[in-house]
């Protein structure tokens, strides 16, 4: 049975996240169309729902062309590393009370540490491609992700401090009497806003998509990739969005726990009737919708503006917010 689990669990994860990746691409196109008062995909399948399936088949069957003067080993390693990281990050995610692969006692640290490795695949891709546009995009990504990880880590540390644990199940359990976004007062609201900005930057999403700036760098670090290798980068981006949004749900929105209101027993019973995985995925896709909303609302920043936003504003604000949260804990304003 143990061997069977080791075989079936990876297969289920790969199948589930491949479907999620394709759905997020479809969702991206529909949200974009909604923002721009268009229809979006509407030809292939009902409401265009098979458009992403058709695009996936096209990428799978497309020729894998490789430029002549590249580092072949690193060139082939980069997309493989990019797709492995989000699959590893699914291990500690809790989709419900009983639906979790491994409730490791440092779950939050595990996710933040492994997610930071995604920049390595981008740097490898930019270097190995032997292309100046790819190299510039990779260097931008390194500066961007490393910078915004500081504020993101401090935002996460606020919730870790309040819940007094790095374990995913214990952080969710600490929100049984109310989500942190509701009962955490000003420090958690500020922390959530900072977290939303930082995950948008870490996923290279507009207005922080300087690594893939089409108007400047063709396609950035994956300019020289085509076919299935490009598809792996494409899928990895959306899976990273899903993972970091799921972490945001766990930290701020109660994870898989339903929405409750005090002194409203009948309303709470109705909320409890909805299965936990549905609550979890609903919250995750709500955060993803907000991230997509950012993309189709704000213009792209310049690299100097991007770094100034982090070092001059977000990082000092994160430090002050962390200190403010600590003071509230010492004064017993925050109850676990």
Q: What is the CA radius of gyration of the chain?
A: 21
- Are 79 and 232 spatial neighbours (Cβ–Cβ below 8 Å)? yes
Neighbours of 88 (CB within 10 A): 15
Distance CA 45, CA 53 (A): 10
C-alpha dist (Å) from residue 187 to 2, 108, 149, 180, 335: 44, 19, 19, 10, 13
Contacts of 72 (CB under 8 A, 6+ apart): 66, 128
Instruction: Tell me how far the alpha carbon of residue 319 is from its chain's centroid.
Output: 23
Distance CA 112, CA 243 (A): 10
pLDDT attached to residue 282: 94
C-alpha dist (Å) from residue 176 to 69, 100, 108, 261: 57, 18, 19, 12
Contacts of 212 (CB under 8 A, 6+ apart): 137, 204, 219, 220, 221, 222
Q: pLDDT digit of tens for each residue in the chain (336 aa)?
A: 778 877 888 888 888 888 898 899 999 999 999 998 898 898 888 888 899 889 888 888 888 888 888 888 999 999 999 999 998 998 899 998 888 888 889 989 999 988 888 889 889 998 998 888 888 888 888 888 888 999 999 999 999 999 989 999 999 999 888 899 988 889 999 999 999 999 999 888 878 887 777 666 777 788 888 888 888 888 888 999 999 999 999 999 998 999 888 778 888 888 888 999 999 999 999 999 999 999 888 888 888 888 899 999 999 999 999 999 999 888 887 766
Q: Which two tokens stand for residue 242?
A: 């899903």
Neighbours of 13 (CB within 10 A): 15
Q: Which two tokens stand for residue 193?
A: 């806003």
C-alpha dist (Å) from residue 6 to 1, 41, 63, 140, 283: 9, 38, 33, 38, 29
pLDDT attached to residue 241: 93
- The number of residues in the chain equals 336
pLDDT attached to residue 301: 85
With b for 16 or more beta-carbon neighbours within 10 A and e for fewer, the 178-190 pattern comes to bbbbbebeebbeb
pLDDT attached to residue 97: 86
Phi-psi region of 104 (alpha: psi -120 to 50; beta: other; left: phi over 0): beta
C-alpha dist (Å) from residue 84 to 5, 89, 117, 231: 19, 9, 10, 13
Residue 321, classified by CB atoms within 10 Å of its CB into exposed (0-12), middle (13-18) or buried (19+), is: buried
pLDDT attached to residue 336: 62
pLDDT attached to residue 139: 86
């Amino acid at each position: 049975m143990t061997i069977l689990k080791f075989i079936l669990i990876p297969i289920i994860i790969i199948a589930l996240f491949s479907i999620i990746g394709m759905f997020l691409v479809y969702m991206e196109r529909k949200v974009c169309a909604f923002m721009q008062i268009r229809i979006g995909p509407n030809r292939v399948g009902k409401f265009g729902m098979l458009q992403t399936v058709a695009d996936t088949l096209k990428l799978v069957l497309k020729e894998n062309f490789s430029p002549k003067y590249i580092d072949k080993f690193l060139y082939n390693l980069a997309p493989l590393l990019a797709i492995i990281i989000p699959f590893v990050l699914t291990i500690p995610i809790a989709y419900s009370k009983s639906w979790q692969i491994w409730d490791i006692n440092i779950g939050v640290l595990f996710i933040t540490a492994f997610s930071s490795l995604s920049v390595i695949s981008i740097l490898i891709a930019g270097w190995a491609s032997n292309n100046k546009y790819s190299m510039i995009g990779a260097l931008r990504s390194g500066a961007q992700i490393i910078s915004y990880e500081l504020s993101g880590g401090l935002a996460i540390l606020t919730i870790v401090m309040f819940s007094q644990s790095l374990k995913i199940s214990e952080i969710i359990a600490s929100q049984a009497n109310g989500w942190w976004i509701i009962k955490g007062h000003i420090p958690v609201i500020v922390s959530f806003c900072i977290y939303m900005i930082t995950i948008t930057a870490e996923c290279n999403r507009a207005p922080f998509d300087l690594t893939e700036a089409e108007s400047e760098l063709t396609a950035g670090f994956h300019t020289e990739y085509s076919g299935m290798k490009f598809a792996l980068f494409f899928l990895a981006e959306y899976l990273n969005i899903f993972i970091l949004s799921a972490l945001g749900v766990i930290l701020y929105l109660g994870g898989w726990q339903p929405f409750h209101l005090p002194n409203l027993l009948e309303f709470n019973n109705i909320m409890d009737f909805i299965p936990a995985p549905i609550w979890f995925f609903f919250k995750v896709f709500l955060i993803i919708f907000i991230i997509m909303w950012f993309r189709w609302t704000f213009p792209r920043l310049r690299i100097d503006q991007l770094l100034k936003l982090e070092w001059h504003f977000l990082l000092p604000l994160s430090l002050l917010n962390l200190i403010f949260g600590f003071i509230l804990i010492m004064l017993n304003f925050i109850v676990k």
